[in-house]
A and B are shown apart, each in its own frame.
Chain A
Amino acid sequence: MKEKVVYQLKDKAIWVVFIFLVIAFTIANPRFLNANNLLTMLRQVSMYGIASIGMTFVILLGDIDLSTGSIITFVNILCAYLMVNMGMNMILAIIITLIVSTLIGVLNGFMVSTIGIPALIATFATQTAFQGLALILCGGLPINGFTEKFRIIGQGYVGIVPVPVIIMIVCFAVGAFILNKTYFGRYFYAVGGNVEAAKLSGIRVGRIKYLVFSLSGFFAGLAGLVMLSRTNSGMSNAGQGYEFDVITCVVLGGVSVTGGYGMISGVVAGTFVIGALKNGMVLMNINSYVQAIVMGVVLALAVGFDCIQKRKQTT
């Protein structure tokens, strides 16, 4: 019982951090609390939020996916190339792009599950390879000139709510649904908590890994599409370093890096904290190099907190 209480506290703690940040930034710069700025902030984090769903699944299994940023980049270039250079129909291009990003996830799954390469290395390899492939496809140059309609995904509004924020909310809902209502959601926790026991309970762990990496690829692809629409230009450095922010959102949200524990509600909070931090630091004119340091410290703190918690439980 006691451990449950600790976890509940921890789940709430991230919201406390969020509120603290909001107050601190508001004091530093009252413009922070402006409705427009808050919506901007949400729009900014929407891509992290979307990609973090897949990452949450991967980390729940105790694995990691470093290819997220690279998938975002590749999707940017691929979709832009299909629409502009090949003149493909927008809907078709989007569908193909999402399929391809999912397939990149399948490739990760193949390397991790079937071959047995540690996820860290397998997805690192994918990251490098697809970054290169994106550069070859675009020749290092940006691809511009999309239709007006395409811009809705990243720049449109429904009422006052930006479309990417709606997509993010839908993704969070889907993620929570998968984790709480479907059998493979249950399996994620089982496999991440204790692979051996999961296997002996009849879970086909290999398949679950395929599924999780594919989903991670899919959500990264979706995030990539939102980004492409928002920037309105396919660029070969679009997703650089994105995996770092996404991983930070997830572990900040209380998903255990060793797997087996975590909830979407936590990830939502983690995403907001990252959004507030990034947005607030810009408003305070904090140098981007310093911002990088802050992000690094935040990641280390989040994981450190998780590890200390774990150690307390085992001793």
Chain B
Amino acid sequence: MSEEYVLQLQHIRKEYPGVIALKDVTLELKKGEILALIGENGAGKSTLIKCCSGAVVPTSGKIVVGGTEFTSMTPQLAAENGIAIIYQEFNNVKELSAAENLFLGRPIRKGIVVDKKAMEKEAAKAFEQLRIKIDPKTLMKNLTVGYQQMIEIAKAIQQDAKILIMDEPSAPLTSAEVESMFRVVERLRKDGISIVYISHRLDEIYRLSDRIVVLRDGEYVKTLITKDSQVQELIQLMVGRELTETYPPRGSCIDKNEVVLELNNVSGNGDMNLKIHKGEIVGLGGLVGAGRTELAEMIFGAVPKQSGKMIFRGREVNPKSPREAIDLGIALVPEDRKRHGAMLGISIKNNINMPIYEKNSTLSVINSKKEMETAEKYQKSMAIKTPTLHQLVKNLSGGNQQKVILGRWLAADSELIIFDEPTRGIDVGAKYEIYKLMNDLVEKEGKAILMISSEMEELIGMSDRIVVLAEGEMTGELKKEEFKQETIMAYASVTRMEEDLTV
């Protein structure tokens, strides 16, 4: 039995403090097949391949490579056993040539000097084998992302890899590049190389793979034979969890007559048309890299708008900096709280007052009474748990940090609040509190909210309307009665297969 498989991951379990990333996942790779590995964001795909590369040590389980059993890998062991991983970020040196990159870390030498000629000759051979046209002398920085990826693949083959694991290989490529990558991958399969292919894009999986392994929330769900499976079924398997979490109820408070934000043909990548009303929570769904954060940053003035019109409260606006956006009444609660949101080394009071300090100063001198009042007011309304407002924000829990940021934007009198993954890294109890605060914002304060979320349940549980993006384009808009995990997933992942989509 085991001769049939070149790589077997058996009952892999990985625990982190407080989180189980992988629960009893089994994956078996046959010789000369392309095995697709799919699942939503956070399903455990990356952790699983990191177990193969040695970057992650599994808590329990076995890794069997060509009949040899391992309890864990190291990068070196992985290489020795013919496992190569093509990550999304390439491991290359931009200032060196293609040939030198191919032999990076193990150059062909003549005595103590590097033998460039020999390396170039070998490189030419390796490229020829994959039938890719790259001049070995070209500097890496002059090659497109597609070619750089080819060099990564060539490097793996050159190093005698028998098992190639590709993590979202098509994500950074243009469609023409994707085509040539497919050809190379198919050729490798013919040569007997086994490939684990991770992708969000279902059309690619149907085009390339022989079998599909589905993961969900760190668990193994099912293995499918690609040609016998249906898109519908696959989506169902990926998202098919029960909606368990409860969301605080919200009364109807949408004011259809008052459009807070309107985007007309705004393009970052594709054209976007979007309307957000007063008292409405619009969910923005899609997979990582779909362009949601970019859209948020564009509305917030942090990145420039390419074209189109943005109308905010009836006036055409074009904020060129966060400052301008804030003054208009737009706020952003960023995804990476620690890097972009809270100022950790600064007190709660100062964090809350930060956007309004200038307004609250006479001849540059801060009105400290007002400063304290503001901080107290929003500590109360946000229920920030702290003994003192002088507490540094880094000493607060994630949920409380998020509340500080929310308080800051309320203090700045924002009308539109954009939440980028509002509850990432926040524990369940605090999550519920954040949801309640968001409800209060639209219900009691009449704010408008645009909420980016990768959590299906959150998106469905909190939104009045859901807009789905894929690859920088708007692919769908759902009304409350149309909310369904499968539909959202379909819009998010299958942009290139609209024709065979029947959802």
A residues apposed to B, CB below 8 Å: 1, 3-4, 181-184, 186-187, 189-190, 193-194, 196-204, 260-261
Contact = CB atoms under 8 A, between A and B. Distances in A.
Given A200-B302, A201-B408, A260-B345, A3 B339 contact: no
A204 B302 CA distance: 12
B323 A202 contact: yes
Interface-centre pick from B327, B357, B361, B412 (highest chain A CB count, 10 A) = B357
A107 to B, nearest CB: 23
Contact of A4 (B321, B342, B364, B392): B392
B300 A200 contact: yes
A202 B364 contact: no
B395 interface: yes
Interface residues of B, number: 35
A186 B350 contact: yes
A183 B358 contact: yes
Interface-centre pick from A183, A190, A196 (highest chain B CB count, 10 A) = A183
Nearest to A207: B323
Contacts, number: 81
A199 B357 contact: no
A199 B341 CA distance: 10
Contact of B366 (A1, A186, A200): A186
A257 to B, nearest CB: 14
Query: Is chain A's interface secondary structure helix, strand, loop, or mixed overall?
Result: helix
Interface-centre pick from A3, A199, A202, A203 (highest chain B CB count, 10 A) = A202
Query: Is chain B's interface secondary structure helix, strand, loop, or mixed overall?
Result: mixed
A184 B355 CA distance: 12
Given A3-B392, A187-B357, A204-B323, A197 B368 contact: no
Contact of A203 (B302, B323, B334): B323
Interface string B322-353: 11001100001010000111111110001001
Given A3-B394, A197-B343, A181 B302 contact: no
Given A194-B344, A199-B322, A200-B302, A186 B354 contact: yes
B135 to A, nearest CB: 34
Interface in B288-307: 300, 302
19 contacts: A3-B395, A181-B366, A182-B364, A182-B366, A183-B366, A186-B354, A189-B346, A189-B350, A190-B343, A196-B339, A200-B302, A200-B340, A200-B341, A201-B322, A201-B326, A202-B323, A202-B354, A202-B412, A261-B345
A3 B323 CA distance: 32
B361 A200 contact: no
B365 interface: yes
A200 B368 CA distance: 23
